[in-house]
């Protein structure tokens, strides 16, 4: 509604229809006046020395009574100020015919040659990024003596195609080869930006969770890895690497600022965050000043979940230090690993002894050969922070038992120092002790149970409901093992001792109580059965069960108990309408008062429908349920129920995805490439980690983004004009 102005007895105003006839017309609401956009931008003096009227450039025109006449008068003749401004405006809009472009006199052939060279450079860049290779040599050197992987591969690639070779090597200007480090980094940044754009678009307006951890790179810089977890349009749980950010320190406030900056850069809203997944560090999970607390202050619905795999490792560490016999056992194991692997010579001797043993067993037919069998191996050092390392160490020690005894014997005979000879002899005596063998088999059995759970928890598509179910199952398995596993372990230990000629003890014999017992019991005796069954077997199993209950306290929280009602196992036997209504209460931002009115009836209709639908009879976990709902269209029939399922699925289970990011970082940024900049390393990591997305992105998308990043000396011609660049990356990949 335009304001009307009185002209005598008539009231007139600006009309919308004028826009259709005069494309240059602009209307100012504050001045209630019309302007000429072209003349406003390019007010010049025409050949007659006349300037454009101030009414259409400064003060504004508002004589609506004779508007059409004045508009036509303003346009004027061919050489009018208005038409001169029009020509300049059209030239300004036409970037291909801009002044700088016209001065270069670039023809179509030059444009096509530019596209050809740029595409060849992009193909080489794609290959190096996907392989995680250096661009400028093995040490990122810029010296002229080291041409580097990029230039070598670029020359090879151009020589494979005669047409590209002519364009790249013969017709390219010396200052426009498109092989400089700046071009390489711009192309890599364009690749990474396209991948990140795909991830952000895939998330859309859906809920997502944040998984964060920090680690040092090869140049001793603290890096924060950020992974996003969400449910895509197909109902699949996806975990994607967003970025790695250098942080000056690891305080919670510094990490929060880095996350805020990252979210603002990619257009992500903290209000859509529904989960946080970190390890147990105090700067992460602190109740008052931790990163968890800082995010919860802004978004109270971003539920925190302590990494389940990390908690499971803490259980193992607690058991390894909580029982004195098991603690002593792991000390001896570490000494064995250190002594046998302290030098390359001893490692080679251990491998050779193991090799000779395997050859002898193959000749005798005791073992068979096959793909993946009888591989060369060595002892692995257990670490408190490396998931599954204790179990791997015990597996290899038991399988290489005779070889380890043999190398320790060689050390006892040939060591140059008496300390090493004495240590080797003491370790041999310890390995030939029944108690050491018993502790080995007991911990190998128990860690085998926890290791299987740890591997399952590290899966990308693992969900919180299935994780809780697996933890409950493991607790039951441990309790059953406590009641019925004694004889199993005893038989394994006795068989192992007989095979390796280790004396087997009589369980009815009496032994003196150890010095760690209470003073009142010192000097008394107990049977071997009591020592091994009660003081080792039952105490260790009870310690694991107790630690599992203490560490995984989240399983008993109200949130997760409500989420468990969505589990489709056993024909939705745990489904509970009241608990799911309570779950909706915990997310008031996602369920309005009006939604809540319909939720109860929708829950009842949903459970009645899916329990009778044969397509849902084989669904065994929450992730498969979400996919089946999308496949059958029930996510639109029961949108509120599907929203509850989404909220449950986005909750993180483990930080394994971030740990994989750091593993990739150690491949991309090595000691020889420790001068990589933060942005350059981030771009390389995004492409290297998200290869599946990168494979779906066409060259043209990357080239267009490359052109838009900054003003280029050359303009990229339309793809239809280029005949020499129709191939993508097949030849360079071959």
- Each residue of 190-199: pLDDT tens digit? 999 999 999 9
DSSP notation for 132-174 = T--SSTTTT---TT--HHHHHHHHHHHHHSHHHHIIIIISS-T
Could you tell me the pLDDT band of residue 724, with boundaries at 50, 70 and 90?
very low
Mean pLDDT for 370-376 is: 69
List Cα–Cα distances, 676 to 130, 672, 680, in angstroms. Answer: 17, 10, 6
Looking at the chain, the whole-number percentage of residues with pLDDT higher than 90 is 39
Q: Which of 356-360, 402-406, 410-414, 480-484 has the lowest mean pLDDT?
A: 356-360
CA distance 655 to 212: 7
Could you tell me the pLDDT band of residue 100, with boundaries at 50, 70 and 90?
low
Contact in structure between 429 and 587 (CB atoms under 8 Å): no
In the block, residue with structure tokens 């010396």: 174
Which of these, 433, 470, 453, 482, lies nearest to 388 by C-alpha position? 453
Question: Exposed e or buried b for every residue in 129-152, given b needs 16+ CB within 10 A?
Answer: bbebbbbbbebbeeeeeeebbbbe
CA distance 117 to 123: 10
Model pLDDT, residue 307: 84
Contact in structure between 239 and 460 (CB atoms under 8 Å): yes
Query: HSE-up of 89 (CA within 13 Å, CB side)?
Result: 17
Q: Is the pLDDT of residue 62 over 50?
A: yes
List Cα–Cα distances, 708 to 476, 701, 714, in angstroms. Answer: 59, 11, 12
Number of H helices, E strands in the chain: 35, 11
Model pLDDT, residue 102: 59
Q: What are phi and psi of 433, to 5 degrees?
A: -90, 140
CA distance 543 to 106: 78
Model pLDDT, residue 135: 86
E strand or H helix that includes residue 439: helix 434-457
List Cα–Cα distances, 685 to 119, 121, 128, 196, 621, in angstroms. Answer: 22, 19, 12, 12, 32
Model pLDDT, residue 557: 72
Q: Is the pLDDT of residue 45 over 90?
A: no
Q: Is the pLDDT of residue 536 over 50?
A: yes
> Tokens for 234?
């197909």
DSSP notation for 348-390 = HHHHHHHHHHHHHHHHHTSS---TT-S----PPPP-TTSTTHH
> Tokens for 693?
């997305």
In terms of DSSP H, where are the helices of 458-513?
464-484, 486-499
List Cα–Cα distances, 551 to 284, 314, 318, in angstroms. Answer: 16, 8, 10
> Tokens for 537?
């077997």
pLDDT tens for each residue of 115-152:
888 888 899 999 999 999 888 754 444 444 456 788 88
* Residues with Cβ within 8 Å of residue 671, at least 6 apart in sequence: 218
Q: Is the pLDDT of residue 733 over 60?
A: no
CA distance 506 to 525: 15
pLDDT tens for each residue of 152-196:
887 787 777 666 655 555 555 656 667 888 999 999 999 999 999
Which residues pair with residue 211 across a beta bridge?
227, 277
> Tokens for 56?
């259409």
In the block, residue with structure tokens 């795999």: 309
CA distance 549 to 544: 9
Q: What are phi and psi of 525, to 5 degrees?
A: -125, 155
> Tokens for 78?
């061919």
State pTM to two decimals: 0.74
pLDDT tens for each residue of 202-245:
999 999 999 999 999 989 999 999 999 999 999 999 999 999 99
Q: Which of 52-61, 320-329, 518-527, 560-569 has the lowest mean pLDDT?
A: 518-527
pLDDT tens for each residue of 278-328:
887 778 877 778 899 999 999 999 988 888 888 888 888 888 788 899 999
E strand or H helix that includes residue 606: helix 593-611
Model pLDDT, residue 171: 56
CA distance 219 to 490: 50
CA distance 629 to 616: 9
Model pLDDT, residue 122: 92
CA distance 504 to 493: 9
CA distance 352 to 336: 17
CA-based end-to-end distance of the chain:
65
Which residues pair with residue 215 across a beta bridge?
223
CA distance 691 to 698: 13
CA distance 731 to 699: 14
> Tokens for 563?
């989420």
pLDDT tens for each residue of 680-705:
999 999 999 999 999 999 999 999 99
Which of these, 57, 25, 61, lies nearest to 40 by C-alpha position? 57
Within 10 angstroms of residue 640's Cβ, the number of other Cβ atoms is 19
Q: Which of 172-181, 259-268, 395-404 has the lowest mean pLDDT?
A: 172-181
Model pLDDT, residue 139: 43
Mean pLDDT for 478-504 is: 92
pLDDT tens for each residue of 624-671:
999 999 999 999 999 999 999 999 999 988 888 898 999 999 999 988
Reduced to 3 states (helix: H, G, I; strand: E, B; else coil), residue 240 is strand
Model pLDDT, residue 279: 82
* Residues with Cβ within 8 Å of residue 222, at least 6 apart in sequence: 214, 215, 216, 246, 247, 248, 249, 250
E strand or H helix that includes residue 237: strand 237-246
CA distance 595 to 698: 42
Cα torsion for 597, 602, 603, 604, to the nearest 10°?
A: 110
Model pLDDT, residue 727: 44
**Among 53-62, 566-575, 628-637, which range has the highest average pLDDT?**
628-637
């Amino acid at each position: 509604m335009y304001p009307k102005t009185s002209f005598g007895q008539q009231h007139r105003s600006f009309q919308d229809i004028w826009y259709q006839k005069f494309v240059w017309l602009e209307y100012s609401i504050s001045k209630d006046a019309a302007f000429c956009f072209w003349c406003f931008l390019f007010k010049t003096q025409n050949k007659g020395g006349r300037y454009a009227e101030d009414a259409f450039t400064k003060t504004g025109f508002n004589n609506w009574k004779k508007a059409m006449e004045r508009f036509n008068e303003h346009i004027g003749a061919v050489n009018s100020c208005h038409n001169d401004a029009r020509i300049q405006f059209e030239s300004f809009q036409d970037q291909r015919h801009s002044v700088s472009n016209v001065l270069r006199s670039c023809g179509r052939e030059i444009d096509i040659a530019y596209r050809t060279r740029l595409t060849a450079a992009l193909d080489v860049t794609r290959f190096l990024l996907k392989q995680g290779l250096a661009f400028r040599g093995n040490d990122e050197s810029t010296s002229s003596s080291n041409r580097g992987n990029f230039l070598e591969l670029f020359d090879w690639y151009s020589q494979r195609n005669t047409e590209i070779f002519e364009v790249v090597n013969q017709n390219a200007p010396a200052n426009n080869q498109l092989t400089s480090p700046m071009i390489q980094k711009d192309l890599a940044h364009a690749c990474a930006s396209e991948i990140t754009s795909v991830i952000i678009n895939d998330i859309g307006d859906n809920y997502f969770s944040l998984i964060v951890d920090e680690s040092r790179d090869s140049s001793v810089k603290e890096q924060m890895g950020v992974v996003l977890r969400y449910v895509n349009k197909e109902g699949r749980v996806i975990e994607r690497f967003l970025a790695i950010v250098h942080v000056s320190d690891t305080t919670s406030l510094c990490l929060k600022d880095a996350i805020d900056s990252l979210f603002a850069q990619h257009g992500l809203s903290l209000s859509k965050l529904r989960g946080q997944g970190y390890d147990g560090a105090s700067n992460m999970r602190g109740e008052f000043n931790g990163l968890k607390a800082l995010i919860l202050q802004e978004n109270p619905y971003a539920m925190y979940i302590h990494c389940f795999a990390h908690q499971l490792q803490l259980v193992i560490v607690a058991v390894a230090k909580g029982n004195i016999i098991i603690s002593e056992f792991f000390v001896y194991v570490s000494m064995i690993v250190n002594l046998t692997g302290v030098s390359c010579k001893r490692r080679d001797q251990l491998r050779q002894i193991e090799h000779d043993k395997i050859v002898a067993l193959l000749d005798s037919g005791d073992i068979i050969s096959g793909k993946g069998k009888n591989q060369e191996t060595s002892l692995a050092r257990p670490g408190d922070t490396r998931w599954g390392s204790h179990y791997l160490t015990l597996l290899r020690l038991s399988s290489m038992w005779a070889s380890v005894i043999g190398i320790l014997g060689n050390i006892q005979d040939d060591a140059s120092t008496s300390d090493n000879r004495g240590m080797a002899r003491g370790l041999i005596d310890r390995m030939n002790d029944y108690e050491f063998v018993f502790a080995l088999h007991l911990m190998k059995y128990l860690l085998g149970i926890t290791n299987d759970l740890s591997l399952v928890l590290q899966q990308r598509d693992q969900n919180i409901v299935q994780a809780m179910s697996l933890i409950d199952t493991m607790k039951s398995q441990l309790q059953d093992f406590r009641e019925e596993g004694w004889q199993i372990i005893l038989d394994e230990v006795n068989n192992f001792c007989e095979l390796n000629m280790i004396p087997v003890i009589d369980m009815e014999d009496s032994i003196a109580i150890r010095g760690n017992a209470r003073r009142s019991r010192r000097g008394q005796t107990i049977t071997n059965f009591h020592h091994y069954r009660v003081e080792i077997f039952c105490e260790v199993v009870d310690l694991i069960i107790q630690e599992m209950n203490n560490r995984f306290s989240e399983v008993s929280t109200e949130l997760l108990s409500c989420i468990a009602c969505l589990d489709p196992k056993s024909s939705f036997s745990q489904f509970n309408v009241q608990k799911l209504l309570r779950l909706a209460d915990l997310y008031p931002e996602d369920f309005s008062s009006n939604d809540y009115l319909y939720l109860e009836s929708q829950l009842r209709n949903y459970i009645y429908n899916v329990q009778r639908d044969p397509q849902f009879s084989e669904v065994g976990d929450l992730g498969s349920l979400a996919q089946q709902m999308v496949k059958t269209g029930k996510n639109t029939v029961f949108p509120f129920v599907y929203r509850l399922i989404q909220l449950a699925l986005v909750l993180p289970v483990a930080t394994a995805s971030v740990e994989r990011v750091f593993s990739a970082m150690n491949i991309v940024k090595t000691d020889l490439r420790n001068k990589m900049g933060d942005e350059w390393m981030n771009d390389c990591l995004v492409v290297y980690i998200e290869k599946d997305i990168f494979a779906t992105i066409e060259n043209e998308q990357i080239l267009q983004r490359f052109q838009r990043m900054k003003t280029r000396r050359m303009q990229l011609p339309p793809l239809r004009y280029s005949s020499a660049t129709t191939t993508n990356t097949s030849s360079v990949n071959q």
